Structure 1
Amino acid sequence: MKLFVIVPLCAVLSFTHQALSDDMCVCELTNSGKAFPHDKLSTLEDNASKCQSSITRKMTQELGSLLLGLERRLPQLEEDVSTLEREDDGELYSVLSLHVIENELTEIMQLIDRLNSTTLGHQRLTTDTNKQLEDLKAGMQELEAYDTMQVAKRQKDNRRLRRDLDQCRNGLHPTSQPTQPPVGYCPHGQFLNITGPRVQTAGEYPGSHKYGAWGRDPKPAAGKESWYWMVMLTSGNKFAHYVRLYSSLSSLIVGVSVPGNVQIHAANPTTNTVQGPNVVLYGDALYYNCYNQDAVCRFNLTTKTVTTVQLPKGTRFNSKGNFCHLDECYPYTDLDLATDESGVWVIYTTNQDFGNLVLSKVEEGEPPALGQTWRTSVYKQAVTNTFMTCGVLYATRYVDKDVEEIFYSFDTTTGAERFNIGVFINKMSANMYSLNYSPVDHMLHAYCDSLMVSYKVLFQ
């Protein structure tokens, strides 16, 4: 092995033997080649790293999301205009339809503006990146002149041979297409984006009740398919003892409640009444955090009876495991109830999980029971809210008073976690105190400082 090292060096090095005495021999080593420019190599490496970080997958996904959003909004606008043309009473419904169309046009213009600015930004980035790549290519070609042993050339040849070999193997053994849907399959497709708001209303009590929740029943009783519900925390922004019902979205917007309130108990608060804003309605029953308990209550709207589901020992409650952001924690948000295509879920945290989010399925039955449980690695007090779609948990965080970000997901089918969702929600008020997905119409219902706001969930 030593010969193979010494012989090539002779091309650039010369040795001079000099005898000084009988017992001493000195060799002078002279480098006849140019010194390798290490500083230039380091500069090229830095430039390559910057070039790689300047273009991310998220940027391409953002452009795709905007195009898909625009593609889906235009048919929706056409449908809304057709609805307006079919209405001829000149009163409530026409006014609402005009309001919906006005919102649609505003959102489409916003999408077009964002698409234009994003496209221009990408064009500038492409031009700059192309020049950087040309400079990097020229610099690397200049450095290859120092590769007198042709090591780099042989490495490139080897990589090309390996690539050709892999292509040959794949051609002989083509990958078979799966016959079953992939794990975690969602019938609507992959969660892609949030658009809106589609609806924004102060309802019957403008500015009166800061905390609350609203939405639709994903499994409504017969005759209640178009109904909406609302729960307001009427006692100290902490407690409630009734659910208020509306026969349609129009009734909710104009504040006409029929059949009115369905009362859990005359007193507020008391045993088994509502504590905290994170409540849902499913199967004609209200699910919520029981007053002063680490348990889920289910109030049957027909029989007016309450059953409870005890959560694991060590579950944090009574405002000890809230949703938070840097400036504020939302009181009594220890338990978050959510619905999706499969039923009801509860999101909470425990002492033994050191404050990380825990997710459990609430199984229907008499009485209901706690089903399978999953543990995540996201800290609950770094989250402002959660919701479920197709068995996937999504978490939001506060960006500023105008924007909330869906940043995290946990797939209960695969156990996969992601911290880079990067979907942003335009807020109508600084704080979202409750957030829940409705699989009936693929809407996300938010209660924000007494405002009721809904967003459209887009699937790919």
Structure 2
Amino acid sequence: MRALFSVLYPVISITVFGLYPSMTIGPKEGWQVYSSAQDADGRCICTVVAPEQNLCSRDAKGRQLRQLLEKVQNMSQSIEVLNLRTQRDFQYVMKMENQMKGLRTKFRQIEDDRKTIMARNFQELKEKMDELQPLIPVLEQYKTDAQLISSFKEEIRNLSMVLAAIQEEMGAYDYDELYQRVLKLDRRLRNCMGKLTCGKLMKITGPVTIKTSGTRFGAWMTDPQASQRNNRVWYMDSYTNSKIVREYKTMEDFVANVVSRTYNLPFKWEGTGHMVYNGSLYYNKYQSNIIVKYSFETGQVLAQRALEYAGFHNTYPYSWGGYSDIDIMADELGMWLVYASNQNAGNIVIAQMDPDTLEVQKTWSTEYSKRNAGESFMICGTLYITNSHLTGAKVYYSYSTKTSSYEYTDIPFHNQYFHISMLDYNARERALYAWNNGHQVLFNVTLFHVIKTEDD
């Protein structure tokens, strides 16, 4: 084998270019290229050159050379096939690599989506827990209410047994006698109440929320001149741009929203200082200082009169605005108008009004700015003014029409819903009616009374 390579070395040359792709080596003169191989990028990696076929053709060594050349050609072809396969495999590997990259991206996206979904599900669960959290004290209250109801049932059962025993012991004559004693006691109590003179406001308690309805501003009232059996309620939502008045037969119907009648007034109202007095509605006509008296019975306007010098349409409203320039009131002594004028430098003016003719009978000028007042109401001829319509309001100032004098007061009350747009006194109920931020509420008042005796 060593001798064979010694013989062939002068006549055949295999040149490898793989390490030097930039070099170009040509065959020597009288030699020819038999085969060459290239890589995937087209670079030559080997070249086979040999003498021309007519050289040494008759030599036995030439036959060996030709056989060797055939083997080299076969090797070259195998190398080309291998190169093609390598290129195809390389492309397949590149394709697989791209697919792997795509899968890696998809897996990363799925992982991110999983985290997002888990976060969203966690947030939904948290929101559900936040919604359920307030129900815990409610459920606790239900437990308390259930115990209280059971206690009530037990008390009613015991009371029923006691009443049944008393009824068995009492005859018909005894019952009638007891009933007459109750009526007599009621007459004595009413007679005593009739001897109470007008009192001075000492305390405000409550409120009691009767209903939640309507807009943020409005007015509701009962008739202080009506009989004890007449408990109709009137309801006027909003402070302007409306003419609809709703009537309810009783306070229970008002709470249940059972409307008995609806009135369409001939003129729109302005503000919330309306008053129902002796079967008629008194209100401020829209964009004017005119007072209108409207009869619920006939559905007609009974009287109209302009309130001289009175500001209107947000010229001198209460601190909350709402065209509350003119406030119509009633107390134990009759009907009143509260407003402000340029002549009194925007300060509050009190006027006593004839309920039939709407004529002003007498006026009193105060030194309290109408725009700085939250609301006001009359009790026994004295005007009481609050210092704000918001939280922390209190009765801060009072003016007596009897003595034409004023004093600063400090009577707090609970502004439960933070915004009062109507506050009126009802002499029959001895209570304050208020519209508190869409809630209809009642305040109880405590008056300092002087009882007249037979010697007075």
**TM-score, with structure 2 as normaliser:** 0.53
Cross-structure match for 1:253? 255
| Aligned residue type for 1:436 | D
* Deviation, structure 1 residue 200: 3.5
Whether 1:429 and 2:379 are equivalent positions in the alignment is no
Q: Which residue pairs with 2:290 in the alignment?
A: 295
CA–CA separation in structure 2 for the residues paired with 1:446 and 1:399: 11
Which secondary structure does the structure 1 equivalent of 2:441 belong to?
strand
Which of 354, 378, 387 pairs up with 2:345?
A: 354
Q: Which residue of 1 aligns with 2:234?
A: 229
1:442, CA displacement in angstroms?
Answer: 0.5
Distance 1:330 1:215, change over 3 A: same
User: Does the 8 A contact of 1:309 with 1:370 survive in 2?
Assistant: no
What is the aligned partner in structure 1 of residue 400 from structure 2? 411
> Structure 2 vs 1, CA of residues 186 and 312 (structure 1 numbering), >3 Å: closer, same or farther?
farther
The one of 191, 194, 200 aligned to 1:190:
200
The whole-number CA distance in structure 1 between the counterparts of 2:286 and 2:274 is: 12
- Partners of 1:372 and 1:411 lie apart in 2 by 13
1:240 Cα deviation from its structure 2 partner: 2.4
Contact 1:277 1:433 in 2 (8 A): yes
- Unpaired segments of 5 or more residues in structure 1? 1-80, 89-184, 266-271
Structure 1 stretches (4+) deviating beyond 6 angstroms? none
Q: Distance in 1 between matches of 2:241 and 2:423?
A: 18
SS at the partner of 1:274? coil
213, 232, 240: which one aligns with 2:219: 213
Report the secondary structure of 2:253's partner residue.
helix
- Displacement of 1:320 in angstroms is 0.9
Match of 2:362 in 1: 372
- The secondary structure found in structure 2 opposite 1:243 is strand
Partner of 1:344: 335
**Greater displacement, 347-356 / 302-311:** 302-311
In the TM superposition, residue 418 of structure 1 has moved relative to its aligned partner by 0.8
Q: Bigger shift: 348-357 or 285-294?
A: 285-294
1:448 equivalent in alignment to 2:436: yes
Partner of 1:44: none
RMSD over equivalenced CA pairs, Å: 2.4
User: Does the aligned pair in 2 maintain the 1:228–1:245 contact within 8 Å?
Assistant: yes
Q: Where does residue 240 of structure 1 map in the other structure?
A: 242
SS at match of 1:253: helix
| Aligned 1:320-331 pairs, distance under 5 A | 320-324=315-319, 329-331=320-322
CA drift at 1:371: 1.5
Instruction: Measure the CA separation in 1 of the matches of 2:295 and 2:287.
Output: 20
Based on CA coordinates, which of the two structures has the bigger radius of gyration? 2
Closer, same or farther in 2 for the Cα pair 1:255/1:316, shift >3 Å? same
Paired amino acid for 1:261: T
Describe the SS at the equivalent of 2:393.
strand
CA separation of 1:322 and 1:197: change in aligned 2, threshold 3 A = same
Percent same amino acid among aligned pairs?
A: 24
Which residue of structure 1 lines up, in the alignment, with residue 375 of structure 2? 385
Distance in 2 between residues matched to 1:192 and 1:294, nearest whole Å:
33
| 1:438 Cα deviation after fit | 0.5
Aligned length: 258
**1:309: Cα distance to partner?**
2.1
Conserved 8 A contact 2:390-2:420: no
Q: What is the CA-CA distance between 1:263 and the residue it aligns to?
A: 1.9
Contact 1:316 1:349 in 2 (8 A): yes
Deviation at 1:435, TM superposition (A): 0.5
Distance in 2, Cα, partners of 1:374 & 1:450: 33
CA separation in 1, counterparts of 2:406 and 2:347? 13
Give TM-score scaled by structure 1 length.
Answer: 0.53
Q: Mark the CA change 1:85 to 1:215 in structure 2 (over 3 Å): closer, same or farther.
A: farther
Pick the aligned partner of 1:281 from 268, 273, 276. 276
The aligned counterpart of 1:308 is 304
